[in-house]
Amino acid sequence: AQSVSQHNHHVILSEAASLELGCNYSYGGTVNLFWYVQYPGQHLQLLLKYFSGDPLVKGIKGFEAEFIKSKFSFNLRKPSVQWSDTAEYFCAVNLNTGTASKLTFGTGTRLQVTL
């Protein structure tokens, strides 16, 4: 069964600091990879996704992620965080079947950005 690991459970950064959140998955087949964000009191929103092609994907709000197949990793990065980035971040994976296969989520990383 596929699984997703997010090793950083709670990250505290000052505004303008750089961010990198780790995500590793365990599955040997072809997968799609996602990062979702959940702002306080809001629903899950898609930050970015990787299906195929360029392993460096850019998402909304200045976020990017790099797929490294050999390391089964899909780490999320942002060069300079803002206070408004305070949220819970979830990495997710599903099988690349061309249809709506189930998403497997990591346990999430709570990011707190201080002024």
Name which of 9 and 115 has its Cβ closer to other proteins.
Answer: 9
Give 51's DSSP letter.
-
Q: Which C-beta is closer to other proteins: that of 28 or that of 41?
A: 41
Which structure tokens are listed for 110?
Answer: 């709570």
Residue indicated by tokens 């949220």: 87
Site string for other proteins, 34-73 (x = CB under 8 A): x-x-----xxxxx--x-x----------------------
C-alpha closest to that of 109 among 68, 63, 72, 69: 63
27 binds other proteins (CB under 8 A): no
